[in-house]
Amino acid sequence: MIEPHVHIAYAPRGAGLLCAAFWFTQDAHVYGWYTGARGRDYQSSYFVLENYYSAHDTVFYRSVESDVRGRWLRVAKGGEAPLEGAGPVPEPLEHELARLQDAFVREWLLYRSDAAPEDVAALQAQGLPLLDVNVRPKRLDKLHKVDLLWTYSTPGANLNIVVYLGERWSLNYAPR
């Protein structure tokens, strides 16, 4: 069973969920999924950082939709280009990525459309609004609360991966 690393960035009095990501490594590659604020909307994509842990240049791929078996793009600082043929995730890992994404969302994220009255009440009790995408109220105590940005990272997570992604993805969140 793969245990992914997690990073959450949440602006409770602003945009709300800036970034929620998980990832794991397989050989020299990093596989994962992220979602977060992009303007007034939210984007979510699976991603692959090919050759991240090697001497070769890293190649960043992301799914067009939040569909591991759908269309993929190659992402560079200058833009994105469609990937022809099969995506960059080996077939056995497609199933694991989809399973991990489902578990991650169930554990960490609360979508407005799925919010139960007790979820709304729990957010309101902390003075937080119900936004389109939220951190689950029961997980808020895990976040490191500093000023306007609350974060959580799995112990031992290589946050350079989030920095690398932040320089290339189209989310509002760009950690330094």
For the chain, how are helix, strand and coil distributed in percent, rounded to 5? 25, 40, 40
Q: Domain-by-domain residue ranges, the chain?
A: 23-166
pLDDT digits (tens, 9 = 90+) for 45-92: 999 999 999 999 999 999 998 899 999 999 987 889 999 988 999 999
CA separation for the pair 50, 47 (Å, rounded): 9
- pLDDT tens digit sequence for 152-168: 999 999 999 999 999 99
The model's pTM is: 0.95
* Band of residue 124 on the pLDDT scale cut at 50, 70, 90: very high
